[in-house]
Amino acid sequence: MRVTTAEIKQGDCLKVLQDFADNTFDLIITSPPYADRRKHTYGGVPPEKYVEWFLPRSEQFLRVLKPTGTFVLNIKEKVENGERHTFVIELILSLRRQGWLWTEEFIWHKKNCYPGKWPNRFRDSWERCLQFNKTRKFKMNQGAVMVPMGDWAKTRLKALGKNDVVRFDSQVGSGFGKNIANWKGRDLAYPTNVLHLATECGNKSHSAAFPPALPEWFIKLFTDEGDSVLDPFVGSGTTCAVAARLRRQSVGIELHRQYVELAQQDLKSADWQLLEKGKRYEIRKR
Ligand SMILES: C[S@@+](CC[C@H](N)C(=O)[O-])C[C@H]1O[C@@H](n2cnc3c(N)ncnc32)[C@H](O)[C@@H]1O
């Protein structure tokens, strides 16, 4: 059986990716540094410079992603001078001009968001997970992320109307079609594009770590076992640890030494037999 590998590389992903061949990865999933004026531990790209900073890097992502692959970008604009900044919207438009298809937008609802009071808005409890593709024929394992049908089915499926027993296509032309009767007697349904996940960075020495369930969901949805996953801003290495657990090959790139060490530590402490081969970790289940 093929050995699962995880590799954490130090450097700017713009440079590091130049060593990778075209069409290498099945999934790129990442949370880049925030657009922020403060030069704190990581990031510090001001919002008005963000698109200009991001595009040379996304050009590399486009090159190294397979035609059947997917790029998931976790990002959220901040409030500045009482307004939402528009850099994410500008970034989406620029990525489309660069050749990406903006296929979907998932919402990560942060279930455990702390309460607060602001004079002119409510607490922010969601982030965007933007899905981009190179082609319309990308790999998608919808069956891998099915969810329990839920209580709605008991009442809704009891009394079916005439539009419920035939495929009823969306009247707004979205391509979405439903046949409610098909779901009778089933235990599992397809999920929505809203992910309800708690943030979990309290136990990590990185303030912006993914909850492992976030990369896990997208890795299951967009890759098969043995496929290759890239996180070009890997931080504490969550994506690679999850990918290894799911037996996907992975590469993580991180600018700062301290986070590279944290990511490597995370891989070492996982419940895996880890064979250190140079800078690469080969992982076999215990
Ligand atoms: C939001 S954090 C990612 C956190 C990650 N998802 C995790 O689970 O820990 C972004 C990371 O990108 C790193 N970074 C910033 N600029 C970078 C660059 N040009 N190339 C690679 N990594 C970079 C930062 O040091 C930071 O750790």
Res. 230: pLDDT tops 60: yes
The pLDDT assigned to 204 comes to: 67
Pairing of strands 25-30, 228-231: parallel
How far away, in angstroms, is 42 Cα from ligand 1 center? 7
**What burial class does residue 229 get, using C-beta atoms within 10 Å of its C-beta: 0-12 exposed, 13-18 middle, 19+ buried?**
buried
Count of other CB atoms within 10 angstroms of residue 95: 23
- Which pair of tokens denotes residue 27? 């999934």
Please state the separation of Cα 108 from the chain's center in Å: 10
How far away, in angstroms, is 170 Cα from ligand 1 center? 40
Q: Phi/psi at 169 (nearest 5 deg)? A: -80, 150
CB of 31 within 6 A of ligand 1: the answer is yes
pLDDT digits (tens, 9 = 90+) for 17-33: 999 999 999 999 999 99
- Which pair of tokens denotes residue 75? 């990002």
pLDDT digits (tens, 9 = 90+) for 197-217: 888 755 567 778 899 999 999
pTM: 0.90
Residue whose token pair is 């990185």: 206
For residue 199, which of 77, 109, 107 has the smallest C-alpha distance?
109
* All structural domains of the chain with their residue ranges: 4-146+191-285, 147-189
- Which pair of tokens denotes residue 82? 């009482």
Residues 116-137 as b or e (16 or more Cβ within 10 Å = b): eeeeeeeeeeebbbbbbbbeee
Res. 112: pLDDT tops 50: yes
Using only C-alpha atoms, the chain has a radius of gyration, in whole angstroms, of 20
The pLDDT assigned to 250 comes to: 96
DSSP assignments along 45-65, one per residue = B-GGGHHHHHHHHHHHHHHHE
- Number of separate helices (H) and strands (E) present in the chain: 7, 16
The pLDDT assigned to 274 comes to: 53
CA–CA dist 80, 67 (Å, integer): 37
Q: Kindly report the protein residue whose alpha carbon is nearest to atom 18 of ligand 1.
A: 12
Q: Phi/psi at 144 (nearest 5 deg)? A: -80, -10
At 286, is the pLDDT very low, low, confident or very high (cuts 50, 70, 90)? very low
Find all residues with CB under 8 Å of 119, minimum gap 6, and list them: none
More confident residue, 181 or 85: 85
Ligand 1 atom closest to 253 (CA): 21
User: What type of residue is 42?
Assistant: Y
pLDDT digits (tens, 9 = 90+) for 41-57: 455 789 999 999 999 99
Name which of 143-157, 226-240, 266-280 the model is least confident about.
266-280
Mean per-residue pLDDT over the chain, rounded: 88
Give first-to-last CA distance, the chain, whole Å. 14
CATH match for 4-146+191-285 among 3.40.50.1000, 3.30.70.1050, 3.40.50.150, 3.40.50.2300: 3.40.50.150
Q: Which of 254, 262, 267 maximizes ligand 1 atoms within 8 Å of its Cβ, making it the mutation to test the pocket?
A: 254
The pLDDT assigned to 33 comes to: 92
At 71, is the pLDDT very low, low, confident or very high (cuts 50, 70, 90)? very high
